[in-house]
């Protein structure tokens, strides 16, 4: 059981707990102490049965329904979380935790190593999705939450939701997995490697030891640009940009951003470096690449969920080529083989992988119905 060393008790934003831990990592190492930055919305009911954990994606954070402290933008899932939304603070105690390895308050490469008084940088241990979930479990232990009404996540958040159901089946009554996968494909790994190499090729990366100096912004921006292409669809890009020129009537016959899509990607890259740490990007993409839920069961995904009592809801999008519908179907087939309660739907959207973050009334209706059915059991 984790012992609390420090807890920020301010109501609302920017809660943080430092737990003695340790987290037993898949690499064989132990990590301690463990800092967890998190947000909560709503309150626990008398029997502590209404807690919902929302897991964020690669570049996400705990600010699921509150303004981001760096960008000032609204929370990344206000379409799903909030008053009158499927995940409602009037009905649910909602918890969102910044993952281990990230850079918005939880332990990560930019955190101070208590043994040296300097940032961990590349001395931070390599972690996995399961390690992130184990750290989250430590925090929930401290908060006195034994059982989750649901764990919900899209993309990497879906990987965490699956890992929660696999590692702690008795603690998860329901799991909602959106636009996700049970393993990273060779293509997924390849795109991540391009991004990592862009960061590490930036001379300012300095083998990760850039804290207190200029960060490798150029490399991180290129990594974000490459990844962002995978979040979109060809149809969506064509509809939004086509081959239209950016603020000009003719081609420049140079290497400025002639096309709107070039300008868009450059903006995405530049805005990203203001809110994210390059080393965290390396560590989290590596955790995603290592993700293969069936690996420890000789590739038999059904064995991961054998005997589970958790209810599952899976949602995919037809234009998502990063985690295509076939990946969700593979999970559903495994859940069916394990005798688990599983529902699945493929939704139509032109927006590719990013569809789960955008206005999707059908997705909201499905999640709302699934959660309400669980509450009424």
Residues noted as catalytic: 155, 320, 353
> In this structure, what DSSP letter does residue 93 have?
E
Cβ neighbours of residue 267 under 8 Å, at least 6 residues apart? none
The residue among 168, 106, 369 whose CA lies nearest residue 160 is 168
Q: How many residues are listed for the chain in this entry?
A: 377
Burial class (CB in 10 A: 0-12, 13-18, 19+), 263: middle
Rg of the chain (C-alpha set): 20
Q: Which two tokens stand for residue 291?
A: 């993700």
Q: Any idea which residue has 């990497």 for tokens?
A: 156
Give strand pairing partners of 174.
311
Please tell me the distance from the alpha carbon of residue 130 to that of residue 128, in angstroms, as a whole number. Answer: 5
Cβ neighbours of residue 285 under 8 Å, at least 6 residues apart? 58, 192, 195, 196
Give strand pairing partners of 87.
81
Q: How many CA atoms lie within 13 A of 127 on its CB side?
A: 30
Burial class (CB in 10 A: 0-12, 13-18, 19+), 241: middle
Q: Which two tokens stand for residue 196?
A: 């990592």
**Cβ 11 vs Cβ 34: under 8 Å:** no
**Cβ 195 vs Cβ 285: under 8 Å:** yes
What is the separation, in whole angstroms, between the first and last Cα of the chain? 30
Question: 3-state DSSP call for residue 151?
Answer: strand
- Cα distances from 173 to residues 148, 157, 307, 316, 336, in angstroms, run 6, 17, 13, 21, 17
């Amino acid at each position: 059981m984790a012992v609390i060393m420090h807890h920020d008790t301010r109501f609302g934003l920017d809660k943080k707990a430092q737990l003695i831990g340790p987290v037993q990592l898949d690499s064989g190492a132990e990590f301690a102490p463990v800092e967890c930055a998190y947000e909560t919305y709503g309150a626990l009911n008398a029997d502590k049965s209404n807690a919902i954990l929302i897991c964020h994606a690669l570049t996400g954070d705990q600010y699921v329904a509150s303004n981001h402290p760096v960008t000032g933008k609204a929370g990344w899932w206000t379409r799903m979380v909030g008053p009158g939304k499927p995940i409602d603070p009037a009905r649910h105690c909602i918890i969102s935790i910044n993952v281990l390895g990230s850079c918005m308050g939880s332990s990560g490469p930019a955190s101070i190593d208590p043994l040296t008084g300097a940032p961990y940088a590349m001395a931070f241990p390599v972690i996995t999705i399961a390690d992130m979930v184990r750290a989250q479990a430590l925090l929930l232990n401290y908060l006195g939450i034994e059982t989750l009404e649901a764990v919900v996540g899209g993309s990497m958040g879906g990987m965490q939701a699956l890992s929660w159901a696999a590692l702690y089946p008795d603690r998860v009554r329901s799991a909602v997995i959106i636009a996700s996968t049970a393993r990273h494909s060779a293509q997924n790994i390849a795109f991540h490697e391009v991004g990592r190499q862009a960061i590490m090729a930036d001379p300012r990366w300095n083998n990760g030891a850039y804290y207190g100096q200029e960060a490798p912004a150029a490399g991180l921006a290129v990594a974000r640009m490459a990844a962002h292409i995978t979040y979109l669809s060809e149809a969506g890009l064509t509809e939004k940009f086509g081959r239209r020129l950016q603020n000009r009537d003719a081609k420049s016959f140079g290497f400025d951003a002639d096309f709107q899509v070039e300008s868009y990607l450059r903006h995405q890259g530049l805005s990203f470096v203001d809110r994210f740490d390059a080393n965290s990007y390396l560590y989290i993409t590596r955790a995603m690449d290592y993700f293969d839920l069936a690996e420890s069961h000789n590739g038999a995904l059904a064995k991961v969920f054998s005997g589970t009592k958790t209810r599952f809801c899976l949602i995919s999008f037809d234009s998502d080529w990063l985690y295509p519908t076939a990946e969700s179907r593979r999970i559903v087939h495994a859940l069916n083989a394990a005798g688990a309660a599983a529902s699945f739907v493929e939704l139509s959207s032109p927006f590719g992988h990013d569809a789960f973050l955008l206005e999707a009334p059908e997705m909201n209706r499905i999640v709302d119905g699934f959660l309400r059915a669980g509450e009424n059991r």
